[in-house]
Amino acid sequence: MTTQGKPISELNRVREWAQEIIRAGHEPPWAWYQYMKLVETVDAILEGITVTTTVNSPQSVQHQEKPHQLVETTYRQGTSRPHPVGTKVRMPM
């Protein structure tokens, strides 16, 4: 997801739509509350996007220069210790 372009414009469009419905004032209280939550959620998402944007940060450039490298796992399936059968489990009271 990019921080510019369609995703942000779509979020803004949804926010404006919900605000228009709220301003119209024809919704029941439960629906009004849901639209308010929608507006607040979109605001939080947009604020989070602006805070976490790292497109031009030196750290993101540094990570882009390193190629991804596959590593071999050291865990082997079937080597875990078996669970003792018949052991009673103590439950808190």
What total of structural domains would you count in the chain?
Answer: 1
Kindly report the CA angle at 20 between 15 and 25, in degrees rounded to 5? 130
Per-residue pLDDT tens digits of the chain, which is 93 residues long: 444 567 888 999 999 999 999 999 999 989 999 999 999 999 999 988 888 766 566 665 555 666 777 777 676 666 667 667 777 777 776
Task: Show the domain range for 22.
Answer: 6-54
pLDDT score, position 14: 95
38 occurs within a structural domain: yes
60 occurs within a structural domain: no
**Which amino acid, 80?**
S
CA distances from 18 to 8, 64, 65 (A): 15, 38, 42
Distance CA 18, CA 71 (A): 48
pLDDT score, position 83: 66
Distance CA 45, CA 8 (A): 9
